[in-house]
Amino acid sequence: MTGSPIIPGSPPPESATAEAHAVALPWHPPYDWAFVTGFLARRLIPGVETLGPQGYCRAVRLDAGGRAHAGRVRVQADTARGVLRVRFDAALAPVAGPLQARLVRLFDLDCQPAAVAAGLGALAAQAPGIRVPGAFDGFELAVRAVLGQQVSVAAAHTLAGRLARRFGMPLGDLRAGRGAGDRGPRADADADADAGPQWVFPSAADLAGREPAELAECGLIRQRAAAIVALARAIRDQGLRLAPDAPLTQTMETLRAIPGIGDWTAQYIAMRALGWRDAFPAGDLVLMRALGASTPARARAAAERWRPWRAYAVMHLWRGSAISPAD
């Protein structure tokens, strides 16, 4: 799926052509925008992402041609026309194609709801437009998943924001061409602080050279700090890729071999970062309760009927539960 120029008759971009670009990304109806944004809202990384009446906004850095391109991207739903309206800073124009591809994955725009509904049957009948929110960046999502282990959503939210501010880059510095070791005098505040997110989440390269003790200073327990550093080093040293085109079996084996990343976390990463539509974190307590299963094996057996769409079944079961999953 590719974007198209903004549809005639729609509101103009916030800024003129030199300051913002606009595209429209279509979806296959029905599309439950409220569910997707509700899911993302509970997992936003402070300083990196925002979500409100003006839609979803995040700070972005994408590398191309030996250069870093940084700016903000804003996404709103136009339900009348069945598209997401995307506006992004002119600095991101050279990476518009990869940027749109990441948004398609994040908002699961390639999903064919009719096929999912046929596979899930009665489970999907009440909310056929539910999607599996993906990941704008696989490493960022994986870190967020590790942070969400056995803590509240609020606690994981706080820890992710601390990591972003401690090890990420201020958007203003990236725009000025400064690197991590050359932050400007206002590294904690961009000049247009009211315009949206100010921080780009640290990449695997940013964290691979760190020690777990440094991450632990942000409030993480040592085990999770070590897992995040090991994850970053696996990307740097072992060629681990956390994207939909990564080899599924090999990637899952590499993830599970990292101390601190068990099956739940690996399945969650597969579901959202790898785009595996049959991922199923069988040990999730909310899923087990929803399925009336006393063990992960029984939950897995109960979900066999929904293959190969178990990731969508997960979303429906989480939606129907009064208890939110840990992440």
Coil, helix or strand for 52?
strand
The CA–CA distances, whole Å, from 260 to 52, 120, 140, 254, 266 equal 34, 32, 16, 12, 10
Say if CB 317 and CB 290 are below 8 A apart: yes
Q: CA 117 to CA 126: how far, in whole Å? A: 10
- Which sign, positive or negative, has the C-alpha torsion 293, 295, 300, 301? negative
> What angle is formed at CA 105 by the lines to CA 99 and CA 110, rounded to 5 degrees?
115
User: What distance in Å separates the CA atoms of residue 11 and residue 8, rounded to the nearest whole number?
Assistant: 9
Answer yes or no: 284 catalytic.
yes
Look up residue 50 and give its two tokens: 């925002």
Cα–Cα distances in angstroms (integers) from residue 238 to residues 12, 36, 116, 213, 245, in the given order: 45, 33, 35, 23, 16
| Residue tagged active-site, from 89, 137, 173, 284 | 284
Residue 72 gets which letter from DSSP?
E
The 8-class DSSP code of residue 29 comes to: S
Burial class (CB in 10 A: 0-12, 13-18, 19+), 192: exposed
User: Do residues 142 and 258 make contact, with C-beta atoms less than 8 angstroms apart?
Assistant: no
Distance in angstroms between the alpha carbons of the first and the last residue of the chain: 29
CB-neighbour burial class of residue 304 (10 A; exposed 0-12, middle 13-18, buried 19+) = exposed
**Smallest Cα–Cα separation from 201: which of 133, 259, 136, 154?**
136
Catalytic residues: 284
